[in-house]
Chain A
């Protein structure tokens, strides 16, 4: 049901023609797609079955995309999600980024990126991105997303977010003593301390993904 079997997506957008077009595009790629025009109906679907990924609009009457994602993760914590929006720069986008998304894409939707991100989406493949006040957090997140994983960003001072056990925790741009303290506080988490290049992260993440595939 997860990464290589039948892929099943739920597309949620109050703009019916757009929702249907996105569904048709995804169906052309061989996936099975359900469409809902509002978040409440979408939640009922999410409680009834498991999807490979959720594709949702942000601004909708009633519940918006951010509220939908929060509720969806209650129902299905392993669910990857991708957001499309006409409002890049919305405050709510920062909120969904913190909840973990595969991408936030603008409208008109760049179809190739949408297909590529969903194709690689892996349920439950979460990577914690633990960054202080860092300029690299965005690049680490993109790196993680390129591999179909969902990055969850937070700072060393925050409590880790709920959800599946992460494949990895990437500690970027953190002082040595702070990194060591964080590691002691979170035993059992596979930790990568990212100093300079992203290569170490690539190697570790690929190895974890291989184990993950075998296990799942």
Chain B
């Protein structure tokens, strides 16, 4: 059932009708001046409770912005209209909670605080023993229960969707792993046969050339299999403090580039990261290779780094033509590529490697026209 269906069913169940709506609207003018204060109290309570505060800090909005949103939320609560759009707006809140990893029970705590504060203010507006006070408290209580129900319903829906996505990826991973491994045996036979033939082919330049091509193509195929397998399984990590300049230098050495493309590595001296040397080298090879290819015939690639709050932030920037908006949104998903010969595993793999290291990878549009990727990795003491 969708959140609006749940909302309707519950309205019937708790008997929330036009009378309640009228009461809520009538309460609005008296309560509205207090909304900023309630919002203030609400976030002050969250901020003084460390686990809740941590969730808030993971979120996407500043506390100032959130306080403002909560005032708007209360405005809506008392003014309606309580229609499909209303439910959709409310549903979004539940989805944000899934995204920032808010445990469900915090919603009850938060709703309890709002209920207490709003209820106390209703009691100040209306004489506590009066029938108006009784029905007003009832209407408020029903409405807040409905709010909580919408939030929990969307929370659950999103969590289930997330789980289904994870399961799909796991199945995809198993299929990929199985095909990948099965391909390695025939590749192994072909490669060792080429090795044996190379010793026997003599001086025929044509034969040599074709053997060379077969060997190269086997290496390409094997590289694809390796990238796919790296993507779907958790390779054991061997994290050590590493000199960033060495890791980057070895990666740059492995990147093939045209004569007109310059790779400029700056300000890495003294920076150390905690990581697995082979995996990080792979991440830098992929980033620098993409940057070099984006440059085309001529251009330059700049790799630089700095320390930010104990993390090392490395930027790889090119003077190419930049990225399409359509590509940007799905940049780090597997099988997304803009290259005629690419399979689209490079950046997905960089993302996996960054995540395994407790780091991040992102793209920013630089003031120039090219592309800039920023990799952050945990720093290591020097």
In the bound complex, residues from chain B placing their C-beta under 8 Å from that of A89 are 229, 233, 235-236
Determine the interface band of chain A, counting residues with CB < 8 A from chain B.
Answer: 20 to 34
How distant is B120 from chain A, measured CB to nearest CB, in Å? 56
A93-127 near B? 1/0 per residue, CB < 8 Å: 00000000000001111010000000000000000
| Closest residue on chain A to residue B187 by CB atoms | A108
Q: Which of A28, A108, A135 contacts B188 (CB 8 A)?
A: A108
Judge whether A74 is part of the interface by a CB distance below 8 angstroms.
no
A17 touches B189 (CB 8 A): yes
In the bound complex, residues from chain A placing their C-beta under 8 Å from that of B229 are 88-89
Judge whether B199 is part of the interface by a CB distance below 8 angstroms.
yes
In the bound complex, residues from chain B placing their C-beta under 8 Å from that of A25 are 192, 195-196
A1-44 near B? 1/0 per residue, CB < 8 Å: 00000000000000101100110110010000000000000000
In the bound complex, residues from chain A placing their C-beta under 8 Å from that of B190 are 108
In the assembled complex, the Cα of A171 lies from the Cα of B184 at a distance in Å of: 37
In the bound complex, residues from chain B placing their C-beta under 8 Å from that of A88 are 229
How many residues in B have their beta carbons less than 8 Å from beta carbons of A? 23
The SS class assigned to the B binding surface is helix
Given that A86-B181, A138-B238 are known contacts, is A108 also in contact with B192, CB under 8 Å in the complex? yes
In the bound complex, residues from chain A placing their C-beta under 8 Å from that of B193 are 17, 21
Judge whether A212 is part of the interface by a CB distance below 8 angstroms.
no
From A21, A87, A111, residue with most partner B Cβ within 10 Å: A21
Q: Give the contacts of B187-216 with A (CB-CB under 8 A).
A: 187-193, 195-196, 199
In the assembled complex, the Cα of A108 lies from the Cα of B192 at a distance in Å of: 8
Q: Which of A22, A107, A138 contacts B185 (CB 8 A)?
A: A107
In the bound complex, residues from chain A placing their C-beta under 8 Å from that of B188 are 15, 18, 84, 86, 107-109
Q: Which of B184, B233, B240 contacts A108 (CB 8 A)?
A: B184
A107 touches B187 (CB 8 A): yes
Q: Which of A24, A28, A109 contacts B191 (CB 8 A)?
A: A109
B191 touches A15 (CB 8 A): no
In the assembled complex, the Cα of A135 lies from the Cα of B184 at a distance in Å of: 30
The SS class assigned to the A binding surface is mixed
Given that A86-B184, A107-B184 are known contacts, is A18 also in contact with B196, CB under 8 Å in the complex? no
B238 touches A18 (CB 8 A): no
How distant is B238 from chain A, measured CB to nearest CB, in Å? 6
Judge whether B11 is part of the interface by a CB distance below 8 angstroms.
no
How distant is B261 from chain A, measured CB to nearest CB, in Å? 30
Judge whether B66 is part of the interface by a CB distance below 8 angstroms.
no
In the assembled complex, the Cα of A89 lies from the Cα of B181 at a distance in Å of: 11
A108 touches B235 (CB 8 A): no
In the assembled complex, the Cα of A84 lies from the Cα of B181 at a distance in Å of: 13
In the bound complex, residues from chain A placing their C-beta under 8 Å from that of B185 are 15, 18, 86, 107
A108 touches B222 (CB 8 A): yes
In the bound complex, residues from chain A placing their C-beta under 8 Å from that of B52 are none
A135 touches B238 (CB 8 A): yes
Judge whether B218 is part of the interface by a CB distance below 8 angstroms.
yes
Q: Give the contacts of A66-89 with B (CB-CB under 8 A).
A: 84, 86-89
In the bound complex, residues from chain B placing their C-beta under 8 Å from that of A84 are 188
In the bound complex, residues from chain A placing their C-beta under 8 Å from that of B235 are 89
In the bound complex, residues from chain B placing their C-beta under 8 Å from that of A87 are 181
In the bound complex, residues from chain A placing their C-beta under 8 Å from that of B236 are 89
A21 touches B240 (CB 8 A): no
B238 touches A24 (CB 8 A): no
User: Which 10 residue pairs across A and B have the least CB separation, nearest first?
Assistant: A107-B188, A21-B192, A86-B184, A108-B191, A108-B188, A107-B184, A17-B189, A86-B181, A18-B189, A108-B187
Interface CB pairs A-B, < 8 A, 23? A15-B189, A17-B189, A17-B193, A18-B185, A18-B192, A21-B192, A21-B193, A84-B188, A86-B182, A86-B185, A86-B188, A89-B229, A107-B184, A107-B185, A107-B188, A108-B187, A108-B188, A108-B190, A108-B222, A109-B191, A109-B192, A135-B240, A138-B238
Q: Told that A87-B181, A108-B188, A135-B238 touch, could you supply 9 new A-B pairs with CB distance under 8 A?
A: A17-B193, A18-B185, A21-B195, A21-B196, A22-B192, A88-B229, A108-B184, A108-B222, A111-B192
